[in-house]
């Protein structure tokens, strides 16, 4: 039955399970029944012949049993039959020679030779030879995949043979020989066209090598070495292609925010295109997966450098595009503002994605491969510094664009601020009305930028705030010599307070601690004061200086000192001043002086009806004793702002103006009995004991610029004239 069915199987398609049944029967009866010698010979020839026939089929399994659901079961059964034949006692006794079925599975080299012939180039052109090799490798890769995914399961299930490894090792040897032969012909003739045809060869070889990279002594292990000459061409091609795509993307960009459904994206189309354009360069790194660690580092440096160059090129292209669109537009400020906002958002979008470059290129993976090759410092100084320089360049471009936005706003703010000035002594409108146009403008522009700038770039608020305050200060200085400056500064001060509220935006804008405007506010507050208020401030400062001089005791008596007592007398509601003496006066004549004391209550507008008082003249005495008393004003005047007693020591000259020895200032609010309550309290209180005071004499210091600028105000000019005369006397 076996002989009959095995012959029938070779000529007709017979169910192979019948052959397995006959082999099982032979194995079962082999030692139970002894066959005649003739039948043994016939059985031996039949088994051996079928084995050779089956091996011929297996050698061509790629063609006879393609990887389809209908063909692979037939191959599986045939392999089981061949394996069963080799295991039977009958075959082992009748064929005593050592026979290993695994060693007999061949056909890969023949298949390779056939495919090589089919793809043989028609000419000896190097590019054509490269294309032919590429097509052959694709065929091999496809066959390896089929062996791995389909045929290996069949062989291993039927015969415990790892046909995938067998086939892979054979292809490794054949391909290594073919690749070396072809690339050796190209050595020294590399150009762009050759490099293009070699790139798919490299990728396919890399894919083949990954399948069994763990095997030892593979001939394709260092296949990448043959492609070093083509590597620069691949990198330059990727760079130039990406650069061209970026240029085309910018050329068609209208610098308008993208609209995705109902959601508004604040950057333009070129920013999205640029991120997409950079992806192929990052993919190139992943595709190459260059095995050599040190060369991989140099490759990474080149790729990072190319990405940074493209980023720099994009910035310049974007600026050129803004210029072109501005020239072709109707020069509308609103359009230009929108374009600038979009440019800033584009650059921020790019900066965000550039920060992801280390993860996209897997820097950490490369760093781990370079642990024993390159120091971390060199890694950081090379790669990280490249990226930081590109990010710094983007930051500078963003700041430049924001500065351009800020300059436009600053120009408008300055125009509004200047429009608040008035030469009239009586303002034509209130500070609120004068500041309203500026505040409406700022609210409108800030809302516009909030809608069109991404949050990361809304830090424009800080420089805008600083410049706004600076404009207020500079404008106030420019108008400092004109009439109406007080009204103008009052408006500016009100505007500054409004700006603080606007930029703070109830906690949604700048924090209050960053709104540092104390210096400017003090300046505006001072310039907003009336002339009388400025005079009061002058005397308040003088009394403070006097108090400081008193605290320094005798070390500050450069010009001498005057001693007096001052107190409030509740019995007649008058202020009494007793001039006791003066000491250590400077001689104004030949080694001596004729001093006397001049008492005057200031400011004059507080004491318009109080006449100055003088003591007697003491001849030739540098330490005169006066001991004279004067009754002055009622207490409510003593408590006025800046109210003080000006004590002036003069040297009497008969034929010329009196010489100035020095002056001292006593704040009336600090006089015993005055500083302790209201007028009602003072009138019911017993007389206070007078306190003796020693006041160092001082000389005047010029500090009247603000009052001098009030040229249209008589009172201010009269006060300045009086103080200037005092300065000349000193």
Q: Which residues, at least 6 apart from 278, have a Cβ–Cβ distance to it below 8 Å?
A: 242, 307, 310, 353
- Taking the C-alpha atoms of residue 215 and residue 210, their distance in angstroms, rounded to an integer, is 10
Helix or strand or coil: residue 14?
A: coil
User: Residue 126 pLDDT more than 70?
Assistant: yes
pLDDT in tens, 55-75: 888 889 999 999 999 899 988
pLDDT in tens, 415-427: 888 787 654 444 5
> Who has greater pLDDT, 482 or 538?
538
Least confidently predicted of 17-26, 256-265, 325-334, 504-513: 325-334
DSSP state of 150: I
Q: According to the model, what pLDDT value does residue 264 have? A: 67
Q: According to the model, what pLDDT value does residue 306 have? A: 93
CA distances from 108 to 105, 112, 113, 170, 176 (A): 9, 6, 9, 7, 15
pLDDT in tens, 301-329: 999 999 999 999 999 998 888 888 877 76
Q: According to the model, what pLDDT value does residue 428 have? A: 57
- Please indicate, yes or no, whether the overall pTM of this predicted structure exceeds 0.85: no
- Taking the C-alpha atoms of residue 440 and residue 237, their distance in angstroms, rounded to an integer, is 54
Q: What is the mean pLDDT of the chain?
A: 84
- Give the phi and the psi of residue 621 in degrees, each rounded to 5: -145, 120
Neighbours of 606 (CB within 10 A): 21
Q: Which residues, at least 6 apart from 375, have a Cβ–Cβ distance to it below 8 Å?
A: none
- Taking the C-alpha atoms of residue 566 and residue 631, their distance in angstroms, rounded to an integer, is 10
Q: According to the model, what pLDDT value does residue 210 have? A: 82
Q: According to the model, what pLDDT value does residue 340 have? A: 82
- Taking the C-alpha atoms of residue 21 and residue 678, their distance in angstroms, rounded to an integer, is 132
- Taking the C-alpha atoms of residue 431 and residue 488, their distance in angstroms, rounded to an integer, is 9
H or E element in which residue 605 lies: none
- Taking the C-alpha atoms of residue 469 and residue 493, their distance in angstroms, rounded to an integer, is 10
Confidence of residue 297 (pLDDT cuts 50, 70, 90): very high
Residue 177: exposure state from Cβ atoms within 10 A (0-12, 13-18, ≥19):
exposed
Q: How far is CA 720 from the centre of its chain?
A: 55
User: Residue 38 pLDDT more than 90?
Assistant: no
Residues for the chain: how many in total? 730
User: Residue 703 pLDDT more than 90?
Assistant: no
Q: According to the model, what pLDDT value does residue 268 have? A: 87
pLDDT in tens, 614-668: 999 999 999 999 999 998 876 677 888 889 999 999 999 888 888 999 999 999 8
Q: According to the model, what pLDDT value does residue 424 have? A: 47
Residue 286: exposure state from Cβ atoms within 10 A (0-12, 13-18, ≥19):
exposed
Give which of 273, 501, 313, 296 is closest to 394, Cα–Cα.
Answer: 313
Give which of 680, 569, 675, 570 is closest to 630, Cα–Cα.
Answer: 569
- Taking the C-alpha atoms of residue 179 and residue 223, their distance in angstroms, rounded to an integer, is 9
Residue with tokens 């333009």: 268
- Taking the C-alpha atoms of residue 29 and residue 90, their distance in angstroms, rounded to an integer, is 10
Q: According to the model, what pLDDT value does residue 425 have? A: 43
pLDDT over 90, % of the chain: 25
For the segment 271-283, the average pLDDT, to the nearest whole number, is: 88
Confidence of residue 5 (pLDDT cuts 50, 70, 90): confident
H or E element in which residue 218 lies: none
């Amino acid at each position: 039955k076996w002989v009959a069915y095995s012959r029938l199987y070779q000529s007709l398609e017979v169910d192979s399970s019948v052959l397995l049944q006959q082999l099982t029967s032979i194995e079962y009866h082999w030692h139970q029944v002894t066959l005649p010698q003739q039948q043994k010979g016939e059985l031996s020839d039949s088994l051996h012949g079928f084995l050779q026939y089956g091996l011929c089929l297996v050698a061509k399994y790629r063609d006879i049993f393609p990887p389809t659901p209908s063909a692979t079961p037939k191959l599986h059964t045939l392999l089981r039959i061949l394996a069963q034949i080799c295991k039977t006692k009958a075959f082992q006794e009748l064929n005593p020679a050592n026979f290993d079925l695994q060693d007999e599975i061949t056909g890969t080299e023949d298949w390779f030779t056939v495919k090589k012939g089919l793809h043989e180039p028609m000419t000896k052109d190097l590019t054509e030879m490269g294309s032919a090799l590429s097509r052959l490798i694709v065929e091999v890769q496809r066959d390896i995949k089929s062996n791995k995914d389909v045929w290996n399961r069949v062989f291993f299930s039927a015969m415990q043979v790892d046909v995938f490894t067998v086939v892979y090792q054979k292809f490794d040897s054949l391909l290594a020989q073919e690749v070396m032969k072809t690339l050796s012909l190209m050595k020294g003739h590399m150009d762009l066209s050759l490099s293009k045809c070699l790139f798919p060869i490299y990728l396919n070889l890399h894919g083949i090598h990954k399948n069994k990279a763990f095997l030892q002594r593979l001939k394709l292990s260092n296949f990448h070495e043959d492609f070093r000459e083509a590597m620069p061409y691949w990198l330059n091609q990727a760079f130039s292609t990406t650069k061209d795509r970026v240029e085309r993307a910018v050329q068609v960009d209208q610098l308008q925010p993208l609209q995705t459904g109902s959601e508004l994206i604040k950057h333009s189309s070129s920013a999205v295109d640029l991120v997409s354009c950079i992806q192929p360069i990052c993919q190139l790194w992943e595709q190459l997966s260059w095995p050599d660690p040190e060369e991989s580092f140099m490759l990474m440096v080149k790729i990072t450098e190319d990405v940074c160059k493209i980023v720099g090129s994009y910035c310049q292209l974007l600026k050129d595009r803004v210029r072109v669109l501005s020239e072709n537009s109707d020069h509308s400020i609103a359009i230009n503002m929108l374009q600038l906002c979009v440019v800033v958002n584009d650059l921020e979008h790019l900066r965000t994605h550039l920060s992801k470059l280390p993860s996209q290129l897997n820097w950490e993976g490369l760093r781990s491969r370079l642990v024993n090759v390159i120091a971390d410092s060199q890694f950081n100084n090379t790669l990280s510094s490249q990226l930081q320089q590109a990010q710094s360049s983007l930051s500078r471009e963003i700041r430049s664009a924001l500065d351009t936005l800020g300059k436009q706003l600053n120009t408008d703010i300055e125009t509004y601020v200047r429009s608040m000035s008035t030469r009239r002594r009586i303002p034509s409108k209130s500070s609120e009305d004068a500041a309203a146009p500026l505040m409406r403008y700022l609210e409108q522009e800030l809302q516009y930028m909030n809608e069109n700038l991404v949050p990361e770039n809304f830090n424009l608020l800080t420089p805008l705030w600083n410049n706004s305050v600076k404009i207020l200060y500079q404008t106030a200085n420019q108008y400092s010599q004109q009439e109406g400056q007080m009204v103008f500064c009052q408006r500016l001060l009100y505007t500054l307070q409004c700006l603080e509220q606007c930029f703070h935006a109830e906690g949604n804008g700048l924090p209050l601690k960053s709104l540092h405007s104390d210096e400017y506010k003090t300046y505006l507050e001072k310039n907003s004061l009336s002339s009388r208020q400025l005079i009061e401030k002058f005397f308040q400062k003088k009394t403070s200086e006097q108090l400081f001089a008193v605290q320094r005791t005798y070390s500050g008596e450069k010009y001498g000192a005057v001693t007096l007592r001052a107190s409030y007398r509740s019995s007649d509601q008058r202020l009494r001043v007793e001039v006791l003496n003066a000491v250590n006066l400077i001689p104004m004549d030949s080694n001596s002086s004729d001093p006397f004391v001049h008492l005057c209550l200031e400011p004059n507008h507080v004491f318009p009806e109080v006449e100055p008082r003088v003591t007697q003249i003491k001849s030739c005495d540098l330490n005169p004793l006066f001991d004279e008393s004067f009754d002055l004003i009622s207490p409510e005047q003593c408590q006025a702002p800046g109210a003080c007693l000006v004590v002036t020591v003069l040297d009497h000259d008969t034929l010329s103006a009196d010489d100035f020895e020095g002056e001292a200032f006593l704040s009336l609010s600090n006089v015993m009995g005055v500083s302790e309550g209201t007028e009602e309290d003072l009138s019911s209180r017993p007389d206070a004991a007078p306190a003796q005071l020693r006041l160092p004499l001082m000389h005047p210091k010029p500090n009247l610029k603000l009052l001098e600028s009030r040229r249209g105000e008589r009172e201010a000019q009269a006060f300045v004239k009086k103080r200037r005369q005092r300065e000349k006397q000193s």
